[in-house]
Amino acid sequence: MVYKATIMKHTPFAEPIYVTRPALPSLDRFTNQLREVWESRWLTNSGAQHQALEEKLTTLLKTPGLSLFNNGTIALVTAIQSLRLSGEVITTPFTFPATPHVLAWNGINPIFCDIDPVTMNIDASKIEEMITPKTTGILAVHVFGTPCDVGQIQNIADMYGLKVVYDAAHAFMVEVDSKGIGCFGDITMFSFHATKLFHTAEGGALTYNDKNLKNRIDLLKNFGIKNESEVMMPGINGKMNEIQAALGILMLDELEKERSLRKQLFKVYKTHLDGIEGISLLPPSKADVDSFQYFPIRIDAKKFGLSRDDVYEKFKAFNVFTRKYFFPLCSQYACYRQLASASPQNLPNANKVVKEVLCMPFYGDLATCDVEKICSILVSMKAN
Ligand X SMILES: *Cc1c(COP(=O)(O)O)cnc(C)c1O
| Residues of the shown chain interacting with ligand X in the complex, contacts defined by CB under 6 A | 71-73, 95-96, 98-99, 141, 167, 169-170, 191, 193, 204
Task: Using DSSP, state whether 356 is helix, strand or coil.
Answer: coil
Pick between residue 73 and residue 106 the one whose CB is nearest to ligand X. 73
**Shortest reach from residue 100's CB to ligand X, in Å:** 10
Pick between residue 73 and residue 121 the one whose CB is nearest to ligand X. 73
Note whether 166 and 141 are within 8 A (CB): yes
**Shortest reach from residue 194's CB to ligand X, in Å:** 9
State the residue number with the nearest CB to ligand X: 72
**Shortest reach from residue 96's CB to ligand X, in Å:** 4
Strands (E), the chain: 17-18, 65-69, 88-91, 109-112, 135-141, 163-167, 175-176, 179-180, 187-191, 204-208, 225-227, 230-231, 279-281, 295-299, 320-321, 357-360
Task: Using DSSP, state whether 225 is helix, strand or coil.
Answer: strand
Spatial distance between the Cα atoms of 188 and 182, rounded to a whole number of angstroms: 5
**Shortest reach from residue 354's CB to ligand X, in Å:** 14
**Shortest reach from residue 178's CB to ligand X, in Å:** 24
**Shortest reach from residue 87's CB to ligand X, in Å:** 22
* CA distance readout (Å), 55 to 50, 136, 200, 366: 9, 32, 15, 31
Type of residue numbered 335: C
Long-range contacts of 49-55 (CB under 8 A, 24+ apart): 49/242, 49/243, 49/245, 49/246, 49/248, 49/249, 50/240, 50/241, 50/242, 50/245, 52/245, 52/249, 53/200, 53/240, 53/245, 53/248, 53/249, 53/252
Pick between residue 198 and residue 269 the one whose CB is nearest to ligand X. 198
Note whether 168 and 31 are within 8 A (CB): no
Pick between residue 193 and residue 239 the one whose CB is nearest to ligand X. 193
Pick between residue 48 and residue 201 the one whose CB is nearest to ligand X. 201
Pick between residue 164 and residue 381 the one whose CB is nearest to ligand X. 164
Q: DSSP string spanning 29-69? A: HHHHHHHHHHHHT--SSS-HHHHHHHHHHHHHTT-SEEEEE
**Shortest reach from residue 170's CB to ligand X, in Å:** 6
Pick between residue 140 and residue 342 the one whose CB is nearest to ligand X. 140
Pick between residue 19 and residue 141 the one whose CB is nearest to ligand X. 141
**Shortest reach from residue 69's CB to ligand X, in Å:** 8
Phi, psi of 358 (to 5 degrees): -140, 125
**Shortest reach from residue 287's CB to ligand X, in Å:** 16
Helix (H) / strand (E) element for 268: namely helix 242-273
Give Cα 270 distance to the centre of its chain.
Answer: 22
Pick between residue 196 and residue 382 the one whose CB is nearest to ligand X. 196
